[in-house]
Amino acid sequence: MDYLVRANNHAKSLIDFALHDLKGKIPGVPACELLGGRTTETVKMGWVVSAPKLEHLVQRSVDALRNGFAFVKVKVGVNKSSLKDDVARIAAVREAIGDDAELQIDPNGAWTYNQALENLRALDKYNIGLVEQPIGHWDVEGLARLRTKIGIPVFADESANDPMALLPLIERKAVDELFLKVSKVGGMVKAHRWLTIAEAAGLRVHCGCMVGSGIEAAAFMHVLGAHAWSAKFVHENIGPLITHSVWNTVDSKIANDLALNIPRYENGFGFLPNGPGLGVDLNEDMVRRYATPGMEPLVINAKTAARLDGYRT
């Protein structure tokens, strides 16, 4: 795919997910076994809080910790919010969750270098666990300079969207940690390579989500559970919980998802699926409902795959 089409990692990742699912279902093994074997059964999760109103932000942060999540991450720099606004929001959350709870922030690259330097120095007194992508993804040199001037650990998300993108970050000592999104790097194969590079550099890893379905969550979970390095850390693979506004899948019956049986979430942990392939079943009714008008989905399963040798579309 990389020879034929440059970039487009999200589209490629869907094909990668589908092939891992098929490859696992033919012999009847979970996808994590295709990536080296499961190293853990559960992955500890943190919670990303997105709430425009301050009172909702504070309550969601408190509720996330009460429901077992390891930390809360708050968006800052939203809609060009002022430093005063961001300080007020972070101060309110810190007061509500207490001094011992881990609090992280994410500007999504919204700040310039000078803004990031001023803002992070002002926020440092609130005991921030880390800042995700404070400046534009292209400014690796800026990340390196910023990291030496503040006390908050810096880690890259948008700057780390490909295995090869990790090399300049590592060489320039631009980050303290790395942030992974399996879809953003192009799928499970590339994510596994990405994690191996991160481990070789000794950089901690967090994995987030694209706020997607149970299919996305299952693929991400297999990657996290199959690599011993990623299994050491806390992640944010909570797309279905955010999408369906629930804290777990034990007390909540989730319907209307692309996966009929999304991975299990309970007490702030995500559980690796045990079934073959991705371990989830596609909601084919939903696929047909949202398919392009006039197009009929082609269903390929373990029984029909052998007959498709040489198939072209």
What pLDDT, in 10s, does the model give residues 253-265? Answer: 888 999 999 999 9
User: Which residues 6+ apart lie within 8 Å of 66 measured at CB?
Assistant: none
| Predicted pLDDT of residue 52 | 79
Q: Give residue-wise pLDDT tens across range 123-138.
A: 999 999 999 999 999 9
Report yes or no: 30 and 217 within 8 Å, Cβ to Cβ.
Answer: no
- Each domain of the chain, given as residue ranges in start order, spans 9-308
Out of 94-108, 147-161, 206-220, 299-313, least confident range: 299-313
Please check the confidence at residue 231 and state whether its pLDDT lies above 50.
Answer: yes
Which 3 state secondary structure label does DSSP give 49? strand
More confident residue, 313 or 243: 243
The pLDDT confidence band at residue 306, using thresholds 50, 70 and 90, is low
The pLDDT confidence band at residue 312, using thresholds 50, 70 and 90, is very low
| Predicted pLDDT of residue 253 | 80
Please check the confidence at residue 80 and state whether its pLDDT lies above 80.
Answer: no
| Predicted pLDDT of residue 300 | 79
- 214-239 mean pLDDT: 96
| Predicted pLDDT of residue 177 | 94
* Sheet strands side by side (includes 47-49): 47-49, 71-75, 102-106, 128-132, 154-156, 177-180, 204-207
Q: Give residue-wise pLDDT tens across range 159-207.
A: 999 999 999 999 999 999 999 999 999 999 999 999 999 999 999 999 9
Out of 103-112, 133-142, 222-231, 284-293, least confident range: 284-293
Q: Give residue-wise pLDDT tens across range 8-20.
A: 999 999 999 999 9
| Predicted pLDDT of residue 50 | 81
CATH number of 9-308: 3.20.20.120
In this prediction the pTM is 0.92
Tell me the one-letter amino acid at 70: A
Nearest partner of 233 among 163, 301, 179, judged by Cα: 179
Average pLDDT along the chain: 93
Nearest partner of 10 among 178, 219, 289, judged by Cα: 219
